[in-house]
Structure 1
Amino acid sequence: MKILVMSDTHGDAAIIQEVKKQNLDVDAIFHCGDSELPFDASELKDVYKVRGNCDYDMNFPTEVIKEINGETIFITHGHLFGVKSNLNALSFRAREVGADVVLFGHSHILGVELVDEILYVNPGSLLLPRGRKEKSYAIIEKIGNSWSVSFYTEEKQIIVEKNLVI
């Protein structure tokens, strides 16, 4: 399984298109909210997407649960789960839905954590990053019993790479 994850693009439709073009070899694409685009925007075609606190199109769901290659992926923006404070509420929901992977945004801070065999990934922001200067997105791969999570700049330069064993 190989997926592309982005978030918090805040109206920059061109960057969504560019990142999609750079990563044509993925099994699925996820946007964790605050695209500030209409739900049916062409840039979000074939993208699993959720509503963030800055998205006003009510057609966006607040959560999506998708199974890809046997992995249950739970995506939400994060503002409804208080992710800027801690991941407690998000982890309760992840266990409730049987998630293997949790994708979220909102804080604009990239990060990855494996807790109780659940992978949590925040891809950062492709417009307004916090905690570092690079705008970012993530590529997640499942290889055997390990996860590879790589964070890239908008120019597809590697920022951070983590390998986590379940």
Structure 2
Amino acid sequence: MKVLIVSDSHGKGKLLNQIVERVKADHVIHCGDFCTDEKQLPACSLTVVRGNCDWEQVPMEQIWKRDSLTFFVTHGHRYQVKTTPLPVRYRAQELGAQIACFGHSHFPFCEKVGDVLLINPGSITLPRGFPFPTYAVLTKEKDLLTVTYYKTDGTPTRQRGFKGRLD
């Protein structure tokens, strides 16, 4: 399984579509602040949530399940993610999710906290406190998960990421 995780594209639909075409993931998760009409989002298997800058009436939170994994997806502005990831972790636990995907801070973050893998892909357009725009790709092979961060041109970064099991 291969999942592309993006956030905070802020109206850059062409760039978002280029990344989706390049990665060729089985599923795409957009953690909000897409800032376009919903019909301009990529035509693919997609889970999308509304960010604080979005006007489309998509859900504020979603659960997506695949290959024995449950993903909690939110933008993060309602969970104080600029201060601490713990409220997102607690919400993921309440919902029985092993993975929480969120954005809002425009800062890439990937860490397993307790029994939840927290993933913020950063922003593909407006990084904050990080030298370049990023997105994340999660792959699952058997029970091994890998999260790799990429620059928007497709170059993998050496910063951030995860490799391991969730048990």
Instruction: Please tell me the root mean square deviation across aligned C-alpha atoms, in Å.
Output: 1.4
Deviation at 1:44?
Answer: 5.5
Partner of residue 10, structure 2: 10
Q: Deviations over 1:43-81 (max 9, x none)?
A: 365321000000012x21000101011100110000011
Q: Deviations over 1:107-158 (max 9, x none)?
A: 0000101112211100000000112221110001123333211000111001
The normalised TM-score by structure 1 is 0.92
Tell me the SS of whatever aligns to 1:158. coil
Tell me the SS of whatever aligns to 1:40. helix
Structure 1 residue ranges, 4+ long, deviating more than 6 angstroms after superposition: none
- Distance in 2, matches of 1:9 and 1:134, equals 13
Partner of residue 27, structure 2: 28
- Distance in 1, matches of 2:17 and 2:6, equals 11
Kept in 2: contact 1:114–1:164 (CA 8 A): no
- Distance in 2, matches of 1:22 and 1:41, equals 18
5 Å matches for 1:29-108? 29-43=28-42, 45-57=44-56, 59-108=57-106
- Distance in 2, matches of 1:96 and 1:18, equals 35
- Structure 2 CA distance for partners of 1:44 and 1:52, relative to 1, 3 Å: farther
Tell me the SS of whatever aligns to 1:141. strand
The normalised TM-score by structure 2 is 0.92
Deviation at 1:165?
Answer: 3.5
Kept in 1: contact 2:107–2:128 (CA 8 A): yes
Kept in 2: contact 1:153–1:159 (CA 8 A): yes
Q: Deviations over 1:90-111 (max 9, x none)?
A: 1111011000111000000001
